[in-house]
């Protein structure tokens, strides 16, 4: 049985079909939902992947991409890239790039940015800094957003120069998800160094009102 078949069978046992339409409407998704809540999804994935063998990193990536590309329900995509800490290397970056650009919505992108791209940046700082600088200049909004928010949980370990560098290409953008990302990233860093964020906002009057409000929320 393929990984997708196992995921689908597992999720159907915990799905609440009455929730499905509401979940789909909330997420503005063209892909339907099964009606699996986040806690049940987490529990189902934990049980499934505890016994599912990945032979190596190549087979793991192949399984993840198969799930992603052939999923029929949104929760199947949520489940498809769980686990596999041992395979989180630079070789996984092209796969995550595909997930981000084809997922193209905040529920996929923000999860991947924080829990996959961020850890890669921490583990492989030099090549990932180069990649994030390139992503920040991408015409793809979701890659740019990822470059901005991938350090949300870094606190004192934040590469501030990289954060500001990744914000720069999107400062003048009128796109909500980029303006929100800028404010969110600055707001999170303000918990560590409020003075630095205050100085940055003051030095960049071209920031949108949304970005400024979010950035200074806790300052």
Q: Which residues contact 191 (CB under 8 A, 6 or more apart)?
A: 155, 218
Rounded CA gap, 159 and 97, in Å?
21
Decide: 187 and 214 in contact? Cβ < 8 Å: yes
Give the pLDDT confidence score for residue 154 in this predicted structure.
Answer: 98
Q: Which residues contact 73 (CB under 8 A, 6 or more apart)?
A: 8, 11, 31, 32, 33, 34
Could you read off the pLDDT tens digit of each residue along the chain, which spans 219 residues?
Answer: 788 999 999 999 999 999 999 999 999 999 999 999 999 999 998 888 888 878 899 999 999 999 999 999 999 999 866 567 889 999 999 999 999 999 999 999 999 999 999 999 999 999 999 999 999 999 999 999 999 999 999 999 999 999 999 999 999 999 999 999 999 999 999 999 999 999 999 999 999 999 999 999 999
Give the pLDDT confidence score for residue 172 in this predicted structure.
Answer: 93
Q: Which residues contact 100 (CB under 8 A, 6 or more apart)?
A: 108, 109, 112, 113, 140, 142, 143, 146
Give the pLDDT confidence score for residue 82 in this predicted structure.
Answer: 59
Give the pLDDT confidence score for residue 83 in this predicted structure.
Answer: 63
Rounded CA gap, 154 and 158, in Å?
5
Cα end-to-end distance, the chain, whole Å: 53
What are the sequence ranges of the domains in the chain?
1-56+73-81
**Quick one: CA dihedral 146, 143, 64, 30, positive or negative?**
positive
Give, in order, the Cα–Cα distances in Å from 205 to each of 30, 46, 66, 198, 211: 38, 46, 45, 12, 11
Rounded CA gap, 210 and 219, in Å?
15
Q: Which residues contact 185 (CB under 8 A, 6 or more apart)?
A: 148, 149, 151, 152, 163, 167
Q: Which of 87, 170, 89 is nearest to 128 (CA)?
A: 89
Polymer length in residues for the chain: 219
Which parts of 37-140 fold into alpha helices (H)?
A: 38-51, 57-70, 74-80, 93-103, 106-112, 118-123, 125-136
């Amino acid at each position: 049985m393929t990984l997708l078949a196992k995921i689908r069978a597992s999720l159907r046992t915990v799905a609440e079909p009455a929730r499905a339409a509401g979940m789909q409407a909330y997420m503005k998704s063209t892909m339907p939902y099964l009606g699996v809540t986040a806690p049940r999804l987490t529990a189902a994935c934990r049980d499934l992947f505890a016994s599912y063998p990945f032979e190596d990193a190549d087979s793991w990536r192949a399984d993840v991409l198969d799930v992603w590309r052939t999923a029929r329900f949104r929760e199947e995509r949520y489940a498809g890239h769980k686990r596999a800490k041992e395979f989180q290397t630079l070789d996984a970056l092209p796969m995550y790039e595909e997930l981000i650009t084809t997922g193209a919505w905040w529920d996929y992108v923000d999860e991947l940015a924080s829990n996959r791209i961020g850890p890669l940046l921490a583990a492989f700082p030099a090549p990932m800094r180069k990649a994030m600088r390139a992503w920040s200049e991408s015409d793809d909004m979701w890659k740019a957003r990822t470059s901005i928010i991938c350090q949300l949980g870094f606190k004192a370990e934040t590469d501030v120069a990289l954060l500001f560098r990744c914000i720069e290409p999107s400062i003048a953008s009128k796109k909500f998800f980029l303006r929100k990302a800028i404010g969110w990233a600055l707001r999170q860093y303000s918990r560590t160094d409020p003075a630095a964020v205050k100085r940055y906002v003051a030095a960049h009057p071209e920031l949108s009102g949304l970005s400024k409000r979010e950035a200074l929320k806790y300052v």
